Amino acid sequence: MARDFKLIFSISLLLLLLDCCYGGKVGVCYGRSADDLPTPAKVVQLIQQHNIKYVRIYDYNSQVLKAFGNTSIELMIGVPNSDLNAFSQSQSNVDTWLKNSVLPYYPTTKITYITVGAESTDDPHINASSFVVPAMQNVLTGLRKVGLSRRIKVSTTLSLGILSRSFPPSAGAFNSSYAYFLRPMLEFLAENKSPFMIDLYPYYAYRDSPNNVSLDYVLFESSSEVIDPNTGLLYKNMFDAQVDALYYALTALNFRTIKIMVTETGWPTKGSPKEKAAASPDNAETYNSNIIRHVVTNQGTPAKPGEAMNVYIFSLFNENRKTGLDSERNWGLFYPDQTSVYQLDFTGKSNGFHSNSSGTNSSGSSNSWCIASSKASERDLKGALDWACGPGNVDCTAIQPSQPCFQPDTLVSHASFVFNSYFQQNRATDVACSFGGAGVKVNKDPSYDKCIYITAGGNKTKATNATALTSSASTSRGNELLQWILKLCLMISLFFSLHSMNS
């Protein structure tokens, strides 16, 4: 009995360590409702060139599946709503589909998820949601028959409309009108360890209520916080608040173990007249850049800090065949000629992202800096400084003791250097210098002695700060590498311990 307990404990610890070694993943949605798109083969080349490792498609097109063959890209494929009725009615329909449309491409094409239906509760044409769970069960049964039920996860995607209440997050609750569908779906997900897939768009909240929702708040740029009165948790962006509302809604129904995966989020670059204030390349670049950094750094949410989450950016290309407002056709990251609408680093390691939407670099003027406002309160400055050095991802080494920008040792001086670093790293836009009113733009270089304020291009006229910042980055990378090595050594040790117990 003791030996069995040790074995179970060791395996559990090993699995926990393995889970800790992986962070959040960022993918992209590859929709094809357009007339002028590149061939699937060229699209795959584009995806590889931009370091994208996870892709969602909305069907099981044979040319697309074939194009992703012999790549390391993990693919999420979809069963369209139009197929749900047939899939729910007959196991043989699903078995035939797997045999003819999926298995010929697997495992050469690395399929990891199948989404059965997309936002079915929002489909106005058919009672799609009533077919979802039976269809999911048949797809899982079909995968079990061919031994793939553990390698390919089955789920469905939903919109935030599945909630009847999303604020405050702790009051998150599912819409009771979907109870007939929700509970069996959640039971399926929990039993099979499949993720709860959700499409989240803070953009719509701002577009529809610009007087009630701050643009900075939805773009991950806010230096102020929204408090959940029930938990005391502080929220600096709407995305986290929406995700936590879902977690609380799941908890209310006693589904605490289900993980959330965001299968769509993004921002449009163009919109109709009522959307012009929100839909722009700059806002799209800011939102998507920040969501990528948020995910790959495992920031988690206030209710689940540090928890890894997988997120898919919508969408690879604009889709001119879509109906509705102009924004519906303008979510693309790339033009049909495969040039970037704006630059995104899918690794999340780049400090800045520069829009190419106008054919030129859209970073702010090289003779523009951001400093702390003399009118800002000490409390506001400290809050903004702490945020910039934390979630804002500014390297604040240069304002530490013995570093070039430590003196004068005042809050205003330290905040000014940090504000400017954040401002320049984020394209030197007005939004990036707001800090809730604590920042102000100036045209005179604030640099002094050996403390050099970088410009929009990240240039420094002296090497002192560059040395300090590079040293800090190297130390951080070294610490991450050391932690990884220690985890690897522990896993190896556990492996040999398990081997000795079994011999």
Give the CA dihedral 49, 55, 61, 62, nearest 10 degrees: 60
Whole-angstrom CA distances from 30 to 106, 134, 271, 313, 342 are 19, 27, 20, 9, 17
Task: Please pick, among 221, 264, 275, 285, the residue that the annotation labels catalytic.
Answer: 264
Assess contact for 312 and 376: CB atoms under 8 A. no
Specify whether the CB–CB gap between 224 and 436 falls below 8 A.
yes
Angle between helices 411-425 and 378-389 (to 10 degrees): 40
Among left, alpha and beta (phi > 0; psi -120 to 50; other), residue 353 is beta
Q: Is 306 helix (H, G, I), strand (E, B) or coil?
A: coil
| C-beta of residue 465 within 8 angstroms of C-beta of residue 472 | no
Per annotation, catalytic residue among 119, 275, 285, 319:
119
Reduced to 3 states, what is the DSSP secondary structure of residue 77? strand
Residues 336 and 392: their CA atoms lie apart, in Å, by 33
Residue 129 CA, distance from chain mean position: 26
DSSP structural state of residue 467: H
Question: In whole angstroms, what is the distance from residue 240 CA to residue 163 CA?
Answer: 15
Distance CA 47, CA 12 (A): 36
> For this structure, is 225 an active site residue?
no
Q: Is 391 exposed, middle or buried (0-12, 13-18, 19+ CB in 10 A)?
A: middle
Q: Is 378 a catalytic residue?
A: no
Active site residues: 119, 264
